[in-house]
Amino acid sequence: MVTSAAPGNTSVFILPSRQDNTQYTVAKKVRSNQIRTKLDMELLALNVLTGINSDSILRVASKLNIPPKLADELTLVVDEKRGMSANQPLKTEEAKSFILVICHLAKQNQALIRRAVALMEQVAAQKTKPQSVTLLREYLDKFEKAYKQYHIYSENTSNDNPEKLGLKLLVDLLFYSAPQGCSRLWSSLKF
């Protein structure tokens, strides 16, 4: 601890100890992993609903001038290696690139996303299960399988209910497909 040398000044300045720095680094890594997982889940939901594949992601990334290395990481989410990317810390610039691709793909598929959300609203109004509608049933079945596969490869475990998460992600994707989608997704990350 270092105190001020000025007479009568009782200000105390505390220099962080080595332990404090370690705790900050661990907290920062945990937050980075949470952000990556959120972005991976958004991309996974898009993949399951729309059928986007690695080629679609690479085309969009190229169009948006995203470096090939980052584009390749994005494709891990939709390939058979789901979740492998979740074990890598995410930098701010990488997150921005991921957001651009997710929002661009969501905008391209906005009609389908809107249809799925409208069906969710109908099901809720009728107080029936989402599985009673073919589009939602197929989406939720595929999402649950992809979600489980993602967590097999990921070091991060989750207690989320895949059905609830999948439905929430559909609503999120509708917001991210709008003109201010990138800003909305960025602000939801709380970097």
- 1: Cβ contacts below 8 Å, ≥ 6 apart: 12, 13, 14, 15
Q: What confidence tier does 149 reach under pLDDT thresholds 50, 70, 90?
A: confident
Q: Do 43 and 77 contact (CB within 8 A), yes or no? A: yes
The secondary structure of residue 64, as a DSSP letter, is T
Tell me, what's the pLDDT at 142?
95
- Token pair listed for 146: 């992809």
Q: Do 113 and 177 contact (CB within 8 A), yes or no? A: yes
Across the range 80-108, mean pLDDT stands at 79
The pLDDT mean for the chain works out to: 80
Tell me, what's the pLDDT at 75?
82
Most confident stretch, 27-31, 88-92, 185-189: 185-189
pLDDT > 90? residue 108: yes
Tell me, what's the pLDDT at 87?
55
Q: What is the pTM of this model?
A: 0.78
Q: Give the span between the Cα atoms of 113 and 180, in whole angstroms.
A: 16
pLDDT > 70? residue 26: no
Residue of 173 and 74 predicted with greater confidence: 173
Q: What confidence tier does 49 reach under pLDDT thresholds 50, 70, 90?
A: very high
Residue ranges with strand state E in the chain: 2-3, 12-13
pLDDT > 50? residue 115: yes
Residue of 19 and 167 predicted with greater confidence: 167
